[in-house]
Amino acid sequence: MILTDDKRSEPETNYTPTRKNILASFRWLIKGAKSGDSLLLHYSGHGSKVKNLDGTEASGYDQTLVPVDHQKSGHIIDDDVHDVLCRNLKKGVRLTAIFDCCHSESIMDLPFTYNINGNLEIIENDKNQSIATLVAAGTRFLLDGNKKQTKHIFKTEITNLVHSAMGKETASDSAKQKVIDTNQTQADVIMFSGCKDDQTSADTKVNGMASGAMSYALIHTLKKHLRNSNSKGSSSASKNKHLTYTELLREMRRTLEGKYTQVPQLSAGRKLVLDQPFQV
């Protein structure tokens, strides 16, 4: 199924990417999925963020997809993306999603995130651990009387940190923990996103054709590996060698580095073994 606002497309694929149609296509993708099935989703469009209203986001914002009718029907927030695509997906199903849009790191609200730092080292971010670290660091700043550090933390977060240090749980703490506890998936859900939540994703042109920069980096890396594996001079060992998640992320970062500031992310519904072969 293809949703596009390109008027030159064939009539049978010209489904306009309205809010209703995007959510319907998500449901169409996962409908009837059973163990052993492999699903692929690619979103290349606009992404944004809106103020979080239920206290479930540490940043204070929900990440969003922006449909063509967003002024009338509104954005699609990350909670909805997770609930429709991931919540009821069965064990043994594999969903590989590519979200090439701005502010896309947590658009599927998955609990584990991986990115490559400047030294091309893998950084794993466990949302549960991140919140624990935030509480510990904020409490230390308060106890040390470091006003310069604490003034950069939102007033509500400072209150939450003090309550945490005193053993009190706030409504926001409870909401965040509930999301973390429930967002691990039974299915194998993998997501490539164009950038971090506080970044934008760039557009580029490849052979005169418009493309998202992250989409280009991913496709370029996979094609390069395929060419190398199929070349006549390749050894039998290299021909049988599968690209690991680590190698894929590193090569994508190399492709974008120096041209774009965005850092591509890899997220998962369950903890990944990064030296395992990447597969769709």
Q: List the catalytic residues.
A: 46, 102
The torsion of the CA quartet 191, 192, 197, 200, rounded to 10 degrees, works out to -150
Q: Distance between CA 251 and CA 245 in Å, rounded?
A: 10
Integer CA distances (angstroms), 91 to 3, 113, 139, 230, in order: 28, 20, 39, 34
Q: Distance between CA 57 and CA 186 in Å, rounded?
A: 22
- Contact status, residue 48 vs residue 75, Cβ threshold 8 Å: yes
Strands (E) across 53-138 are located at: 61-65, 76-77, 94-100, 112-116, 122-126
If we measure between CA atoms, which residue out of 91, 106, 107, 86 comes closest to residue 27? 86
DSSP annotation of 205: E
Q: Specify the 3-state DSSP secondary structure of 63.
A: strand
Contacts of 71 (CB under 8 A, 6+ apart): none
Q: Distance between CA 226 and CA 34 in Å, rounded?
A: 29
